[in-house]
Structure formats: structure tokens, C-alpha cells
């Protein structure tokens, strides 16, 4: 007999990065053991980094196994019709103790041609920010390939890029082609298409412990960059016990849900739902199942679970595909 579905949690996949720190542990309760942990992959089917269930009867099973066995039940009818047995999103937390490299992601067409991959449209929700923490997003003014290359060669690229101060609760939506970098002193939740394709443009001439610089992808990036000025910051409502739309794009919908006390939720079964607990704690009750989640937890609610109760006091990101 197949096991009954329930809200699923997964073992975090922790990644050391040259720019990483220790805030994933101190702020988001991740079991890191390194002083340079930059990323916690919360939900992933990227090859070599497939999430494994951490709770309940299905503990130890990979997300790919579950989808293979029960695609409609996990993914939802619409998602399965559109993507087959692929999990189309990747969920992460990032801790930038230092600036990340300046980078860009290709669109679906380029990524398919070059890497047989999805493109990488993504969004950031700022969960913590040191004073004066900033991000780089796009160009200050419309630019061109020629101007960009001149500044890149002169090591003055930052001078033509738009730098924005970031504070907790800020959301930045990055369409493919947007040149960007998370600045030092930020912890962000990242929601993106399932893709690990990044073109690194400039890395501030940093060297690792072995004295090596990281590879740049200047030529690959030239056709991927959007040289026009873009508006990336998203404003949104914060009504209590309401799914306030933050980002609604072809690849995912993200809502901000300030939970107070109790909320009955009903879903159509068309898509899975993911909850990321940004602040506070809450419970999910479903068909005899009841579990408490704390800040930093990420929960996959399979699509076949279409009625459940959220209770507690928390700030939650709610993500699905519409």
C-alpha cells in the first residue's frame, strides 16, 4: 500500500562558499559546521544535489523518487502536464559574509541551447541585513555591450551598475539577463527556476585559500545580458492571514503570508505549495498530521493535500506555480 502524503521537510544541502559565513546557523537554525557556509539548498532536484526527506514515513526517500512514483500527487496536475517529472523550482537560503561575484543567468532559450537546462529567473527575499548592506541589480542607465566591456576591462564595472540599499522584507525579482550581486551582510531566501547555470562576470580579483581566482565567463555572458536599466524591487501588501502577492511570473507565484492564530487553507491540486518560515513559528494540521515549524524551515505540501490548517504567529513565504 502506498504511504499517505503529508507535509514534507528535507535535509538541507549545505554549501561552502568563499563568501559564506555562519548566519545560516545563528539566524536560520541550519546545522552548519563550517565558518564559510554560503548556501542551504532547501528543496532541490539539481543533479548531484537532490533533496532527501527528513520527516515521517517517507524519511530517507529522495524528492526525485517521490515524483517518479507519484507525480500528480506531489507536483500537481497542471505542473505535471507542463514539466513532466521535473521539479521546476529550486529553493535556497544564502548568507553573504562578503560580496558575491557579479553575475548573470541565461534565459530559457540560451540555457537550453548551451546547457540543456532551464534558464534562471529568480527572486530574493531579504531575511536579515546588516547596516548599509547593499545589492547590485542591473545598470544605472541603459548601457551597451561596448560600454560594459570597456568598464569590465578597466575594472570599473561597479561604477555603471545600480546599487540598492537592502533591508529585511525587501524583495528583488531578477529576470534572466539582469546583472546582479548580493552584497556583504545579507541573508536572503532565494526562489528560482531549477538551474545551476551562472555566468560570473567579475569577482573583485579575489583568491581562495590556495591562491586561485575563480573562473569568469565573460564571453558566454555577452549574449545573456540585458543592457537596459531594469526595475527589480517589488512592493507588496502585508495583510494578516492573507496571501499577499509579491511576485507572479510564468515560473512561480510567491505570496507573503503574515499568520496570526489560525488560517484554513484550501488548494485546487493543480500545484504543490512550498512554505518558507521567515519569522516566528507555526503548525500545519492535516488529517491527523500535526507538526511545528520554526524560522528557517521549508515545507513542501504535496499537491494532493488540498485542505489543511495553519496556526501560530509567523511570517511565511508561500510559493506555487499558477
Report whether pLDDT(69) > 80: yes
Query: What is the overall mean pLDDT for the chain?
Result: 95
Residue 122 assigned ligand-binding role: yes
Mean pLDDT computed over 192-221 = 87
Which residues touch 180 (CB under 8 Å, ≥6 apart)?
A: 102, 103, 104, 135, 136, 137, 138, 172, 174, 232
List 17, 134, 200, 214, catalytic entry: 200
Residue 151 assigned ligand-binding role: no
Cell 518560515 appears where?
A: 277
pLDDT digits (tens, 9 = 90+) for 105-162: 999 899 899 988 888 999 999 999 999 999 999 999 999 999 999 999 999 999 999 9
pLDDT digits (tens, 9 = 90+) for 164-191: 999 999 999 999 999 999 999 999 999 9
Half-sphere exposure in the Cβ direction for 110 (13 Å, CA):
18
User: Do 73 and 304 form a contact (C-beta atoms < 8 A)?
Assistant: yes
| CA separation for the pair 111, 114 (Å, rounded) | 5
pLDDT at 204: 87
Report whether pLDDT(317) > 80: yes
Local confidence band at 4 (pLDDT 50, 70, 90 cut-offs) = confident
Report whether pLDDT(3) > 80: no
Does 200 qualify as catalytic in the annotation? yes
pLDDT at 119: 87
Give me the percent of the chain exceeding a pLDDT of 90.
89
Amino acid at each position: 500500500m502506498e504511504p499517505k502524503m503529508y507535509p514534507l521537510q528535507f535535509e538541507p544541502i549545505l554549501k561552502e562558499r568563499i563568501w559564506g559565513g555562519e548566519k545560516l546557523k545563528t539566524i536560520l537554525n541550519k546545522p552548519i559546521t563550517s565558518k564559510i557556509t554560503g548556501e542551504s539548498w532547501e528543496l532541490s532536484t539539481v543533479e548531484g544535489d537532490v533533496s532527501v526527506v527528513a520527516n515521517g514515513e517517507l524519511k530517507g526517500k529522495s524528492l526525485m523518487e517521490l515524483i517518479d512514483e507519484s507525480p500528480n500527487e506531489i507536483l500537481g496536475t497542471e505542473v505535471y502536464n507542463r514539466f513532466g517529472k521535473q521539479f521546476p523550482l529550486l529553493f535556497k537560503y544564502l548568507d553573504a559574509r562578503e560580496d558575491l561575484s557579479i553575475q548573470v543567468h541565461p534565459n530559457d532559450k540560451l540555457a537550453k541551447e548551451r546547457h540543456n537546462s532551464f534558464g534562471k529567473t529568480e527572486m530574493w527575499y531579504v531575511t536579515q541585513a546588516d547596516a548599509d548592506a547593499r545589492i547590485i541589480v542591473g545598470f544605472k542607465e541603459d548601457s551597451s555591450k561596448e560600454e560594459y566591456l570597456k568598464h569590465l576591462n578597466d575594472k570599473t564595472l561597479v561604477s555603471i551598475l545600480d546599487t540598492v540599499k537592502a533591508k529585511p522584507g525587501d524583495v528583488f525579482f531578477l529576470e534572466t539577463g539582469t546583472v546582479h550581486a548580493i552584497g556583504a551582510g545579507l541573508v536572503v531566501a532565494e526562489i528560482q527556476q531549477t538551474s545551476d547555470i551562472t555566468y560570473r562576470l567579475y569577482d573583485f580579483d579575489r583568491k581562495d585559500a590556495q591562491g586561485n581566482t575563480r573562473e569568469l565567463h565573460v564571453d558566454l555572458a555577452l549574449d545573456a545580458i540585458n543592457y537596459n536599466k531594469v526595475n527589480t524591487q517589488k512592493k507588496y501588501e502585508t495583510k494578516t492571514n492573507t496571501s499577499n502577492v509579491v511576485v507572479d511570473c510564468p515560473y512561480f507565484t510567491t505570496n507573503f503570508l503574515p499568520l496570526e492564530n489560525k488560517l484554513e487553507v484550501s488548494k485546487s491540486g493543480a500545484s504543490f505549495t512550498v512554505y518558507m518560515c521567515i519569522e516566528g513559528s507555526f503548525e500545519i494540521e492535516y488529517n491527523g498530521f500535526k507538526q511545528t515549524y520554526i524560522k528557517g524551515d521549508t515545507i513542501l505540501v504535496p499537491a494532493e493535500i488540498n485542505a489543511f490548517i495553519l496556526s501560530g504567529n509567523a511570517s511565511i513565504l508561500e510559493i506555487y506555480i499558477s
